Chains A and B, each alone.
Chain A
Amino acid sequence: MLKKRLIAVLILRDGKVVQSVRFKHTNVIHYDAVHAMEAFNKWAVDEIVILNVSRESASRDEFADIVARISSQCFVPLAAGGWIDNEDYAQKLLRSGADKLVINTALADAPALVSRLALRYGQQCIVASMDVKRDASGWPQIAVDRGSRIIDVAPEVWARKAVALGAGEILFNSIDHDGARKGYDIESIRKVCEAVPVPVIAFGGVFTWDHLVEGINAGASAVAAANQFHYTEQSTRKAKTHLAKAGVLVRQQGQSLSTAKIA
């Protein structure tokens, strides 16, 4: 049986792992992203997502270097994104060791690029990231360009568009829930999961491990968190234990090999 995935997200601003609260990044959590990754690798996390949220496009090269350093120690899938607005940079990230490209603003500004990348690398390589923000009356809309620009379209419509362009997965995030510690935007996630045939990763707002279970129950194939995984020892392992106790099928941790530890 296919397992539900637990994903750790590393938010990088100017090369440092930062805490994200409603897409503002005032606190640095780790000065070296590789340290954060090493812990996740040991703690049975199923996948790593690394996002460059720097305000300057000049951050691209430094970010690709970090992806390369992380990938050399990362033996689970690694998805990378931020400032992917041309094919050369997409290729650079893949050559740096990323397995998947996380695309957000290009879905709005360069849809042809998304299709070209999907054709070239396959749809499994394209993760469409969507940031949802609710307006004053509570209607969910899409925000692009690091949350700065609103597009008046419902999340499930946007998700269908992303899949039509070639996305093989959806990374759902909510700006209102980001860092707010109240759990995922379950209502929107459920609608997105029902709208698309590809796996959906729930992200944004996890504070208790029950929030992860809620994401799975809403239809997500994978549940992600960022801030919350940095603050507790063995966090992802604890999260998995909780998911398993709630009846969610997850990858067994530390499956023992019959011989001594490898390498």
Chain B
Amino acid sequence: MSLSKIAIIDYGMGNLRSVQNALIQIGAASEIVSQPETVYKYSKIILPGVGAFNEAVANLNRLGMTEALTEAKDSGVSVLGICLGMQLMCRSSEEDGFHQGFGWIDASVQRFPDQAEIKVPHIGWNDLTLRYPHYLVAGLPIHPDVYFVHSYRVKCADPTDVLATCNYGEDFTAMFARENVMGIQFHPEKSQDIGLRILKNFVEHVTC
């Protein structure tokens, strides 16, 4: 209930427990939130998620969660999308057809192209290239290894949104940030010390 708590949005997809375990490890209080009418109570929101894009959008819309999240975002609440959560913040996705996302970031979500030597899904530890200083990546080494598992990747229309890239057959967006909207394609909750540091940076950042 308190403003210092982090909301982890539950919309029936993905491993919320891993995210919550990571927050416990860094000493941050969090609650799993599935009621859209309570979203306004939190000063920071994490939108995790694993699974199919269109099913996620359908669930969020049905629950009234898309609207609640957009209101929170518009009021200045920091929202961090992880994996599918990041992709949902984009304009659209080409996963199983064409589907609208929240449209918070001008980006589309597309599958990695078929190439020899490039197995899809992209599974495993890969290194980031950080594009500019940002509180989310404060204290990290230059090329930190983090854990990815995904078949689709985000293509940002505005290169200034791209906070970190990773190379897998091509350079793709591993993190984006635009004001209070942030997205992470990898799993910080599964990227050991590096990932915990990113979550700690998100949790402890003081917004004015």
Residues of A within 8 A of B (CB): 1-5, 41, 46, 68, 71-77, 94-99, 119-125, 168-169, 197-199, 221-222, 251-252, 254-259, 261-263
Contacts and interface: CB of A to CB of B under 8 A. Distances in A.
Chain A interface main SS type = loop
A197 B196 contact: no
A2 B21 CA distance: 26
A124 B148 CA distance: 10
Size bracket of the B interface? 35 or more
Interface string B181-208: 0000001011111111100100000000
A75 B123 contact: no
Interface string B146-163: 010111000000000000
A124 B190 contact: no
Contact of B190 (A75, A122, A259, A262): A75
Interface of B: 15, 17-18, 21-22, 24-27, 50-52, 119-127, 139-141, 144-145, 147, 149-151, 167-168, 187, 189-197, 200
A5 B124 contact: yes
Contacts of B139: 257-259
B121 A198 contact: yes
Given A124-B151, A125-B50, A251-B145, A222 B18 contact: no
A136 B204 CA distance: 62
A197 B126 contact: no
A261 B21 CA distance: 18
A73 B190 CA distance: 11
A252 B145 contact: yes
A199 B150 CA distance: 13
A251 B126 CA distance: 8
Nearest to A197: B119
A75 B121 contact: no
Nearest to A75: B192
Contacts of B17: 68, 71, 95-97
B24 to A, nearest CB: 7
A263 B26 contact: yes
B27 A263 contact: yes
A74 B124 CA distance: 16
Contact of A75 (B119, B145, B189): B189
Contacts of B126: 1-3
A199 B123 contact: yes
A72 B21 contact: yes
Given A124-B50, A255-B141, A221 B123 contact: yes
Contacts of B149: 77, 99, 124
B124 A3 contact: yes
Contacts of B124: 2-5, 46, 199, 221-222
Contact of A99 (B15, B127, B145): B15
The 7 closest A-B pairs by CB, nearest first: A251-B125, A3-B125, A251-B145, A97-B17, A124-B149, A124-B121, A258-B139
